[in-house]
Amino acid sequence: MEPVTAVAEQLVIPGRTLWIVLCFAMLALGSIGLVGALLWGPDLRWRNLDELLRGLGTVLVSAGMLAVLYGADPAVGQGLLILAVGAFASAYAVGDPKRRRGGRPLQLDTDEEEPTPPPVRVIPGRRIVGPRRT
């Protein structure tokens, strides 16, 4: 019986080079998203855990597909793909239900207070009208 890697190398995958390029592009985008989520995490008090899990899932999917396309041990590729499904399912479960229904996105915590409105009213087409009524 032939080793699994030898059998996988003999398989004909239409557009194999294109799929490899697409998986590398997806790996790059997933890595950028994961790093971005890690950098924004402290500012958002780690309420962006769903974004972290989505980035991790994207990286795992692309790594799993690359393992399959390059003919690595099938258990490695399938294991990575199963972990990716778990990461995406966790991201959906952890995500804020209000955001899934179109609610407000997460806001950064800033030490600054809201800016005070100017003491005059501005009407489009005119310059300054007069004092603002409170």
* Domains identified in the chain, total number: 1
- Tens digits of per-residue pLDDT, 32-65? 999 999 998 888 888 889 999 999 999 999 999 9
Which residues partner with 130 through β-bridges? 121
Q: Does a structural domain hold residue 76?
A: yes
Question: pTM of the predicted model, to two decimals?
Answer: 0.66
Q: Domain with 38 in it: what CATH number? A: 1.10.287
pLDDT of residue 37: 92
- Domain extent, residue 53, equals 15-101
For 124, list phi and psi in degrees, rounded to 5. -55, 135
Residue type, 12: V
Average pLDDT, integer, range 67-96: 90
117 or 23, higher pLDDT: 23
